[in-house]
């Protein structure tokens, strides 16, 4: 009986982690698609500026940006759940940008 309780809790915990992962990705997508405004002074008045967006990258270009091999990017993407892959990329990216993979496009998208 003890094993079935452990198994049940393990499945429940796994399901909760999957739900949290999906929620984090949705939040990151939402935040990444918001217009970014930067206030600056111009002739003593505020002017809104759009910050340039970083474009999605191929695996080859992401590897170059992170200073690792393509195999390393692929291995980490497969091995790690999306939030940890994001954190891994963010730690390697010189601008501190996290990246997530979009299976539909085959590209890596910046998540700031």
What are 56's two structure tokens?
């999605």
Would you state the pLDDT for residue 72? 97
Reference 73, options 84, 86, 62; nearest CA is 62
Per DSSP, 57 falls in state B
Would you state the pLDDT for residue 17? 80
Per DSSP, 1 falls in state -
Would you state the pLDDT for residue 19? 77
Q: Average pLDDT of each block of 10 consecutive residues along the chain (112 residues)?
A: 59 77 72 59 51 87 97 96 95 94 96 82
pTM for the predicted model, two decimal places: 0.56
The residue count for the chain:
112
Would you state the pLDDT for residue 90? 95
Would you state the pLDDT for residue 16? 80
């Amino acid at each position: 009986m003890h094993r079935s309780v452990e198994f049940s809790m393990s499945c429940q915990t796994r399901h909760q982690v999957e739900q949290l992962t999906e929620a984090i990705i949705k939040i990151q997508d939402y935040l990444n698609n918001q217009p970014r405004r930067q206030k600056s002074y111009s002739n003593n008045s505020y002017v809104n500026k759009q910050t340039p967006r970083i474009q999605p990258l191929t695996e080859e270009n992401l590897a170059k940006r992170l200073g690792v091999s393509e195999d390393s990017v692929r291995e980490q993407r497969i091995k790690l759940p999306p939030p940890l892959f994001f954190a891994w990329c963010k730690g390697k990216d010189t601008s501190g940008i996290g990246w997530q993979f979009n299976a539909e496009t085959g590209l890596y998208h910046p998540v700031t």
